[in-house]
Amino acid sequence: MIINADLHVHSKYSMATSKNMNPETMAIESVKKGLNLVATGDAFHSKWLKELEDSLIEIDDTGIYKTNDNIAPNNTKFITTTELEDNHRIHHLLIIPSIEVAWQMRDEFTVKNMDSDGRPKIRMNGAEIMDIAREYDCIIGPAHIFTPWTGLYKEYDSIMECYDDKPDFVELGLSSDSDLADTIEELWDYTFLTNSDSHSPWPHRIGREFNKMELDELSYNGLRKSIKDNNIIENYGFDPRMGKYHETGCIQCHKIYNIHDAMARNMKCTCGGRIKKGVKGRIQELASYDTPQHPSNRPPYQYLLPLSELLSTVHDKGVTTKYVQTRYDNLLKQFGNEIEVLLNTPIESIEKVDPLLSKVINSYRNNGLNVNPGRGGQYGTVEYN
């Protein structure tokens, strides 16, 4: 069984998230995207757990859930997940066997208030969190490992320093890809996951990164086996230059710096703002090789950009405008779902519907996008002529 899975999102109970992050809306919008499996996110928040219990139905004790079939035909299924922040402000992603297990785990952690945020701040280190996760048969790994604020590598030079043991996967994050990560020798032994970390249910956010995976069966055990055996067929995600922390840059004026020049300036911009070390700069510090050395089982990494953002770029209209959304809906009506349009629909067929769109899709399918890179908290932008 081959599925498209986004295994890291947040609910409406996390800070700075859409109030529309509820199970019904997530299921409907994920169908539009073309996702077969999506994370619940925030599975230690009691109000969210109760809402999940009221809204979702477990399928035959598999740890896989669905909404009522009347909500969305062939609706996207759910898997129980949460992200945790440890006492070093490092983020960890847990994939949990079931909602019931999530309830049981809540009391195991040292935390001031588990319900203060969908992503709780745990007063424990990575090794302690991993021990609890393993006790409850969870899958665990570092979330967006290179992110300069909350990724594992902002604090440690190796994964083992954090966990004292090998986690089950590494999540790359929006500002990196397999080519960048595989310049670091210690990462060759890990399954790479690419997930959206979405705070919104709309298809230009949810599923903006996802994994094409082969499962023996659609179940928690099937997913765990696929990750542990690295049965990822392909990773899909941003061109890392689109990530908002790809280059080293000022968080105030967004000027880009070479990492060595930035450090010589004590990370202080000419404008007086703070320079934030980018993912590319941090990888250069950690790299074992100048060019990627992929292990034999590393799947391809295909760049992907949200369809509505591409439409917005080529037509110079806002993502949420009626102009863009009408064209978006028309493409889905003709070709099925967003992933199908972005990856599989022949360029000639797209050209008949939207010639401008066909050109930019053809460019990123061939890794030919011209990108003004992200830095200092500002997303990269596609330069389109």
Residues 237-274 pLDDT 10s: 989 999 899 999 999 999 999 999 999 999 999 999 99
Taking the CB of residue 290, how many other CB atoms lie within 10 A of it?
Answer: 8
Cα 32 to Cα 310: distance, rounded to the nearest angstrom: 16
Exposed e or buried b per residue across 265-288, where buried means at least 16 C-beta atoms within 10 angstroms of its C-beta? eebebeeebebbbbbbbbbbebbe
Mapped onto helix, strand or coil, the DSSP state of residue 163 is: helix
User: What is the bridge-based pairing of β-strands 81-85 and 91-95?
Assistant: antiparallel
Reduced to 3 DSSP states, what percent helix, strand and coil does the chain have, rounded to the nearest 5?
35, 15, 50
User: What is the bridge-based pairing of β-strands 232-237 and 301-303?
Assistant: parallel
What are the tokens at 251?
A: 């968080």
- Rounded to two decimals, the pTM is 0.95
Exposed e or buried b per residue across 357-383, where buried means at least 16 C-beta atoms within 10 angstroms of its C-beta? bbebbebbeeeebebebbbbebbbebe
Domains located in the chain, CATH noted: 2-241 (3.20.20.140), 307-368 (no CATH)
In the chain, the amino acid numbered 54 is D
- The strands making up 91-95's β-sheet, listed across from edge to edge, are 81-85, 91-95, 139-142
One pLDDT digit (tens) per residue for the chain, 385 residues: 999 999 999 999 999 999 999 999 999 999 999 999 999 999 999 999 999 999 999 999 999 999 987 666 678 999 999 999 999 999 999 999 999 999 999 999 999 999 999 999 999 999 999 999 999 999 999 999 999 889 999 999 999 999 999 999 999 999 999 999 999 999 999 999 999 999 999 999 999 999 999 999 999 999 999 999 999 999 999 899 998 999 999 999 999 999 999 999 999 999 999 999 999 999 999 999 999 999 999 999 999 889 999 999 899 999 999 999 999 999 999 999 999 999 999 999 999 999 999 999 998 888 788 889 999 999 998 876 6
Mapped onto helix, strand or coil, the DSSP state of residue 332 is: helix
Confidence at residue 73, expressed as pLDDT on a 0 to 100 scale:
61
Are 342 and 292 in contact by the 8 Å Cβ rule? The answer is no
Q: Which of 385, 353, 355 is nearest to 368 (CA)?
A: 385
Are 14 and 42 in contact by the 8 Å Cβ rule? The answer is yes
Taking the CB of residue 2, how many other CB atoms lie within 10 A of it?
Answer: 11
